[in-house]
Amino acid sequence: MGNPQLIKSLVGRIAGKGVAPQDNSPASSGHATPPRHEPSHKASPAASNEAGGRGSKRRRRGGKAKADAAAAPWSLDEFQVDPLEGSTRFHDLGLRDELMHAIADLGFKYCSPIQAAILPHTLQGNDAIGKAQTGTGKTAAFLVTIFNDLLCNPLEGERFVGEPRALVIAPTRELVMQIAQDAEDLARHCDLQVATLIGGMDYQKQLNRLHTTVIDLVVATPGRLLDFMSRRDLYLDHVEILVLDEADRMLDMGFIPQVKRIVRATPRREDRQTLLFSATFTQDIINLSEQWTYEPITIEIEPDHVATDSVDQKVYLVSSEQRYRVLNNLVRSEDATSVIVFANRRDQVRRLHERLRKSGVAAGILSGEIPQAKRTSTLEQFKQGKIKVLVATDVAGRGIHVEGVSHVVNYNLPEDPEDYVHRIGRTGRAGATGVSISFASEDDAFLLPDLEALLGTRLECTHPPAELLV
């Protein structure tokens, strides 16, 4: 009579009441998944059409490339990069020309350390666990892996909407939006479509995008992704590549139960490629990586290489009463052209933002209590230079990727040393140099030894210059 569970699943989807699979057994996905690490591991057209309950949403992939990709032929000969001893060129990785065209447009020539270490493995289909901070190039590393794989293994025939081939999960809305923007930049010459699913934005608008276009890559926060799964607007049983970005932050924010549900809805770990990135390798992260990955390679990029190379770090000894005076004078100085100020709590961020505005400083605020549309607008104004100062919490700050930030100010020393590295990584990006200024006073100076232990270097503490105390 066949597999009762499979029959039940298919009948449910035909009736429009099917559920996304919640375990890793092959039967739960509605189709048999071929073994990994072989050319046949990509879903076949037959497999794509096997989940028969989605016929009303079936759309044929048109195969029409993006307009700019078809406008004029491009050759790799137009992108010449000389070999450099000790560096890996993107040319050395055997990437598809469509992807190399976008890399050339973006001005990328040589891989960052994590890209050079991890891409030779992930491009071969291997799982990977990467320890790296924001700003090291890990986003491009997993996006290059995804797009090159999808380009090398195209699906022919009909596909269903709401069935992405790749999925990236990240903890914050800002980070998801930044990853999606990077994805759009890298996919500009490929016939690959990206969708962003985040809370705080119009659900119907995101649904329209998902159900009017055959999406290849979905970038999402865990909560909003589960919303789409629970409403049967998205199915993950054809995901070939799964990326879990900033796993430590998802753990801290309590997202792991949700992420576990999402991972269970994808094919078995042996039948998908899984990439996990974290700034720290705690025992909890190690345990999760063992559950979710299959024979992974592990790459570690130490944070001191990130924090100290391009950022001039200063620690000012100030009293609690002096903090705001020093900050107010600092943001008005000529060399402070674009400043991000970090505080530890939402209420601190809110009060600091109000004081700056009352002092006549063009300031914006980023924290979890601000509506998403307002956060997006504020970040865009900051990028355009309409806002000089951005006041942010650590959670919101992880998604800030803005070139040309001159100063990062730690109004409070972070309680978690890892957050310090993330904060100062907002400046000194893309080959530029930046300045990090941290305030240390009687109520938080005890946190400095932990920061120094993480960085592997001593932070020299000085009194602020006289002009900042006026």
CA distance 161 to 58: 6
Residues 6+ apart with CB under 8 A from 238: 43, 47, 48, 163, 164, 165, 267
Average pLDDT of the segment spanning 28-41: 37
Q: Which residue has the higher pLDDT, 11 or 370?
A: 370
If one counts every other C-beta atom within 10 angstroms of the C-beta of residue 428, the result is 24
pLDDT tens-digit readout, 249-260: 888 778 899 999
CB atoms within 10 A of CB 29: 27
In angstroms, the CA 52 to CA 68 distance is 35
Q: Please tell me the predicted confidence (pLDDT) of residue 134.
A: 66
Each residue's pLDDT tens digit, 68-112:
444 568 888 889 999 998 899 999 999 999 999 999 999 999 999
In angstroms, rounded to a whole number, what is the distance separating the alpha carbons of residues 277 and 132?
7
Confidence category of residue 46, pLDDT binned at 50, 70, 90 = very low
pTM of the model: 0.64
Q: Is the pLDDT of residue 226 over 60?
A: yes
Say whether pLDDT at 63 is over 50.
no
Every domain range in the chain assigned CATH 3.40.50.300: 4-300, 304-468
Q: Domain 4-300: which topology? A: Rossmann fold (3.40.50)
Residue with the two structure tokens 């006073």: 441
Residue 129: its H or E element: strand 128-131
- CA–CA dist 64, 191 (Å, integer): 7
3-class state of residue 211 by DSSP: helix
Residue 398: which pLDDT band, with cuts at 50, 70 and 90?
low
CA distances from 361 to 7, 117, 386, 433 (A): 64, 43, 11, 24
Choice between 410 and 7, residue whose per-residue pLDDT is larger: 410
Report the phi/psi class of residue 30: left, alpha or beta, with left for phi > 0 and alpha for psi in -120 to 50: left
C-alpha closest to that of 277 among 292, 264, 265:
292
Residue 348's pLDDT is 92
Domain 304-468 top-level CATH class = alpha beta
